[in-house]
Structure 1
């Protein structure tokens, strides 16, 4: 059975790229969200196995969204995929429960390896 993934990024192009990559490697993209509030709503509706989450988003940023998702489901699996590589942000994301942090631009194999590890 394919692992269901919720792709969260404010950029349509990035969501499209991630969808194509994931589907080509046998993942099922069960939904997409363009901001944190939408991500929380879709997480509750879709109950995905994994979430890919950008940091820089309007309305509710990735770290706030991560905290909210963990409050809803302490076992949710979240991988941050972001252009922000600042050590403090990476540390905070991991401390808040992210299972991985991938820096944009990324290598396809890095995404797949990280998600398969979960």
Structure 2
């Protein structure tokens, strides 16, 4: 299966997370970008770092993209999540402005 073509900031965030590279993951976000983890919102790179250290990259997350769709400025990525935290299928909705992610919302 051919991997889906993703907007550059989305692909960069996913690749960095899968590689365990926190700095590159954060660089994919706008300065005031946010993660919405089931209603818990972490805004700004330092807040996103804290969330990621505790629940995402810090848990050795792995992401195998299984599909993606884009509507307007939002790309929803389906992935099989592994690591030492949540494991199983999940959806991530990325809102992009320019060259950065402004919101990564865990939706399923």
Q: Same fold (TM over 0.5)?
A: no
Q: TM-score, normalised by structure 1?
A: 0.28
Bigger relative contact order, structure 1 or 2 (CA pairs below 8 A, ≥6 apart):
2
Q: TM-score, normalised by structure 2?
A: 0.30
Which has the larger helix fraction?
1
